[in-house]
Amino acid sequence: MADNSQPHFLFITYPMQSHINPALHFAKHLATTTGATVTFSTTIFAHRRMFSSTPNSDKSFNDGLITYLPFSDGFDEEGYKRATMDLMEYFLLFRTNSKRNVSILLNDLVTGGRPVTCVVYTNLLTWVKDIAGEQGIPLVLYWIQAATVFATYYHFFRGCFESLIMLNLLRELFKILDREQEKMKSRVLINTFQEWEIDALASVCNEVEAIPFGHLPKEYTNSVAGYLFGEDEKKYMEWLDTKEEGSVVYISFGSVSVMKKEQMEEIVKALKESKRPYLWVVRKDNREEELLAIEEGEDEMVVEWCSQVKVLSHRAVGCFVTHCGWNSTLESLVCGVPTVGVPHWTDQAINAKLLVRGLELVMGEGEKSVDIRRKAKMLKDKALEAVTAGTNQDCRRF
C-alpha cells in the first residue's frame, strides 16, 4: 500500500461450489489474520443459495468478518441450466452482464467511501482484468486448482489450442498473464502446498511468481457459509457416531458431476456386495428412484448434501470414494482419509494421479492396507504444516 489506509480486498468468484469454497476460505483467513476489509462477491443466484435461510437473501450481508455483495449475471432466477441453455451463449451473456454490473459495484463502493485496493478473482473470470485496469486497481488471480494443472495449461497455451469454449476461456486467462509479464512477473496464488507439487511450481517459476497457498485449517472449512446446497436434515453425524472407527465408506461426487443411471446402479450393486456401512451423497438433481430402495437400514444412509469436512474428520470414516475435485482432494489430505478416485472431467484425472504419486513419494512400499493409512497420515501432516507455518508469510507476500 502506498499509504497507511486500510486495505480493502474484493473477491470475485464464479458461481460454482468448487470456486466459492476455496475463495471464501481464503477471504476469511485474510480478514482474520490481517484485519483487512474484505468483500466477497458472486452472482445473485449463487448468493441467494448461500444465504437462503436469511431475510432478503439477494441483498448485501455482513457476518461480522466479511461483507457479501452480489452482482447480477443476467441469470438471477435460475442460474445456468445445462439441459436448456447453450454453454457458449451462456458464457457470452454471463460475461457481458457480469462485466457491466461488477463495474457498477466497484463504483458504488467508491461512492460509499469503501474503495477497493485489490481485486482477487478465480478461474474463468478473465473480464475482471478489464474492469480493474480501467479503475487502476491491482489484480491477482487465485487459481483454485492444482499447480500441476496450472503448469499444464500454461505450457499448453504457449503452443497450440483447440476451439472449445472452456479452452478459449483459459487461453484468454493465460494471454492476460503473458501481457502482465511485459511489465513485471505475474503473481498467481495457487490453492496447493509446496511439498506436494514442487516440480509443477518450479516449472513456471521463471515466468510466473506462483505462490502456494495451502488448504486452510478445519475451523474455516467447517463453516456452512458458502454452501449452494442445503444440508440434508438427516442426522448423519449422529449416525456416524454409532459406527466403528474406520468402518464407513463415504461416497460423494461433488456439486456438478452427473452420474448416468447405469453408473448409479453399479454403485448400488457394489455397495450392497461390500457389506460395509456407507454414507452416500446424491444431489437431488442426480437422484434415481431406484435409490429410494437402499436408503433404509442401520448401515446405509443416502443424503442430498452434507458438511464434507465434518464427515471426513469423523473417526468412523475409513475411505472416501470421490470424483477427485480439487477441493475434495485437498480435504481428504487434510483429514487424513484414504481415497478411491473416480475422476469424471476437467482437472480430476490429474488430481487422481497426484493422489497416487503423492502417496508413493511420501512413504514408499510396504504392506498395502497399513501403508495406505500411513501415507494419508503423512500427507495430512504435510498439508497442515504448510498452512500453519507458512500461511501468514504467504499473506504478507500477497
What pLDDT, on the 0 to 100 scale, is given for residue 387?
58
Cα three-residue angle 332-14-321, rounded to 5 degrees: 25
Within the chain, which residue ranges are assigned CATH 3.40.50.2000? 8-221+388-397, 236-385
First to last CA, the chain: 11
**Residue ranges of the alpha helices (H) in 194-250?**
198-203, 218-221, 236-241
**What is the spatial distance between Cα 172 and Cα 14, in angstroms, rounded to a whole number?**
16
Residue pair 58/48 in contact by the 8 Å Cβ criterion: yes
What pLDDT, on the 0 to 100 scale, is given for residue 84?
82
The strand pairing partners of 281, in sequence order, are 252, 303
Q: In degrees to the nearest 10, what's the CA dihedral of 186, 189, 192, 197?
A: 10
What pLDDT, on the 0 to 100 scale, is given for residue 185?
75
Per-residue pLDDT of the chain (398 residues; tens, 9 = 90+): 444 478 999 999 999 999 999 999 999 999 998 889 999 999 999 999 998 877 777 788 898 999 999 999 999 998 888 778 888 899 999 999 999 999 999 999 999 999 999 999 998 899 999 999 999 999 999 999 999 999 988 887 765 544 455 668 677 777 777 777 666 778 889 988 877 788 899 988 888 888 887 655 555 555 545 666 667 778 999 999 999 999 999 999 987 777 778 888 888 888 888 889 999 998 877 666 555 555 557 888 989 889 898 999 999 999 999 999 999 998 888 888 889 999 988 889 999 988 876 755 444 455 655 665 666 666 667 666 665 555 445 555 55
**Which residue, among 220, 216, 213, 221, has the nearest Cα to 196 in the 3D structure?**
213
> How long, in residues, is the chain?
398
The SS3 assignment for 29 reads helix
What pLDDT, on the 0 to 100 scale, is given for residue 383?
66
Q: CA separation (Å) from 311 to 237, 252, 306, 335, 337?
A: 7, 11, 8, 9, 10
What pLDDT, on the 0 to 100 scale, is given for residue 163?
45
**What is the spatial distance between Cα 259 and Cα 263, in angstroms, rounded to a whole number?**
6
**What is the spatial distance between Cα 262 and Cα 365, in angstroms, rounded to a whole number?**
36
What pLDDT, on the 0 to 100 scale, is given for residue 255?
77
The strand pairing partners of 8, in sequence order, are 37
What pLDDT, on the 0 to 100 scale, is given for residue 207?
80
What pLDDT, on the 0 to 100 scale, is given for residue 2?
41
**Strand 208-212, strand 278-281: pairing:** unpaired
What pLDDT, on the 0 to 100 scale, is given for residue 315?
95
Which run of H or of E encompasses 302? strand 300-303
Residue 47 falls in the annotated catalytic set: no
Phi, psi of 108 (to 5 degrees): -65, -35
Cα three-residue angle 284-227-70, rounded to 5 degrees: 115
**What is the spatial distance between Cα 241 and Cα 173, in angstroms, rounded to a whole number?**
46
What architecture (CATH level 2) is domain 236-385? 3-Layer(aba) Sandwich (3.40)
DSSP per-residue string spanning 87-139: HHHHHHHHHHHHHHHHHHHHHHHHHTT---SEEEEETT-TTHHHHHHHTT--E
Catalytic residue (one of 19, 25, 29, 314)? 19
**Strand 186-190, strand 139-143: pairing:** parallel
CATH topology of domain 8-221+388-397: Rossmann fold (3.40.50)
Residue pair 102/13 in contact by the 8 Å Cβ criterion: no
What pLDDT, on the 0 to 100 scale, is given for residue 162?
47
